Structure 1
Amino acid sequence: MPFVRIDLSKKYPDGFAQQVGDIIYGAMRQHFNVPEDDKFQIITKHDANELVIPKSYLGIEYSEDIIFIQATISEGRSTQMKKSLYQAICDGLVEKLKVRPQDILINLVEVNKENWSFGHGVMHYAPKDQ
């Protein structure tokens, strides 16, 4: 049930952003046990002036090729699962798309399961007793 936002520069070629999305989805399937067909992503390409980043942070130097990945997920995954996910996404983007590892910024937003509705105004993961 992840909901993923991918923000990156317009300078990337057509199809690149979809490949990024596929790599993220594959890593989530493997490391977060995301079910097949549970792929909800919004991909937004930006002009250079719309991606505001520092030259460096925590000793990491960024470039205009930065890719922002934010996934809203249900809470409950361990720290180790999250570390494995971050590494798998990074490895996939570096190996398959030649993205600099410094330019991969990932943020997870955890929510309670009852905060999801996948359509029809239904709380699909409502507690059984309510």
Structure 2
Amino acid sequence: MPLIRIDIVEGRSDAEVKILLDAAHRAMVEAFDVPQRDRYQIVNEHPASRMIVEDTGLDIPRTRDVALFSVTSRPRSEASKVKFYELLCRELQEHCGIDPSDVMISIVINSDSDWSFGHGRAQFLTGEL
């Protein structure tokens, strides 16, 4: 159920984007214990000049491979969030060659009433989920 929006610099092939999406999903499944088919991902590609991702004064180097992950989710424990950060960076480095310094993650929490998966119903509230 977490919705992941990924902003990247344009130029990756469809195959590279698929590998990135698969890596993100593996991290999500393991860290947040979501079902395998619980997959909602959107990729937005931008010209390099349209994406500025600085380091908040932490001296973190960024390259053209920078990827910004915005995750919208029901509440998660701090431990599962930290696990997700670590797993995502590991998956992206291992399968995509993206250095952990090029990964920024933001998680926004909402509640059950904030989700409708279709048919105009709030499935978490109706008991369908």
Give the match for residue 21 of structure 1: 21
Residue by residue over 1:52-88, the C-alpha shift from the partner in whole angstroms, topping out at 9 and shown as x without a partner, is 223763221212221011110101x211111111000
How is 1:18-97 mapped onto 2 (pairs within 5 angstroms)?
A: 18-54=18-54, 57-75=57-75, 77-97=76-96
Q: How far did residue 127 of structure 1 move? A: 6.9
Would you say the 8 A contact 2:8–2:45 is kept in 1? yes
Percent of pairs identical after alignment?
30
Q: Which runs of 4+ in 1 moved over 6 A?
A: none
Instruction: Supply the distance in 2 between the matched residues of 1:57 and 1:23 (Cα, whole angstroms).
Output: 28
1:32–1:87 distance in 2 versus 1, CA, 3 Å = same
TM-score (norm 1): 0.90
Contact residue 4 and residue 70 of structure 1 kept, 8 A: yes
* Aligned residue pair count: 127
- For residues 54 and 29 of structure 1, what CA distance do their matches in structure 2 show? 28
CA distance 1:12–1:117, change in 2 (3 Å): same
How far apart, CA to CA, are the structure 1 residues paired with 2:23 and 2:38? Answer: 14
TM-score, normalised to structure 2, is 0.90
CA distance in 2, matches of 1:79, 1:117: 25
Bigger share in strand = 1
Deviation, structure 1 residue 11: 2.2
Gaps of 5+ in 2: none
- Bigger Cα displacement from structure 2, 21-30 vs 10-19: 10-19
Q: Is 1:101 the equivalent of 2:100? A: yes
Matched residue SS, 2:81: helix
Matched with 2:113 is 114
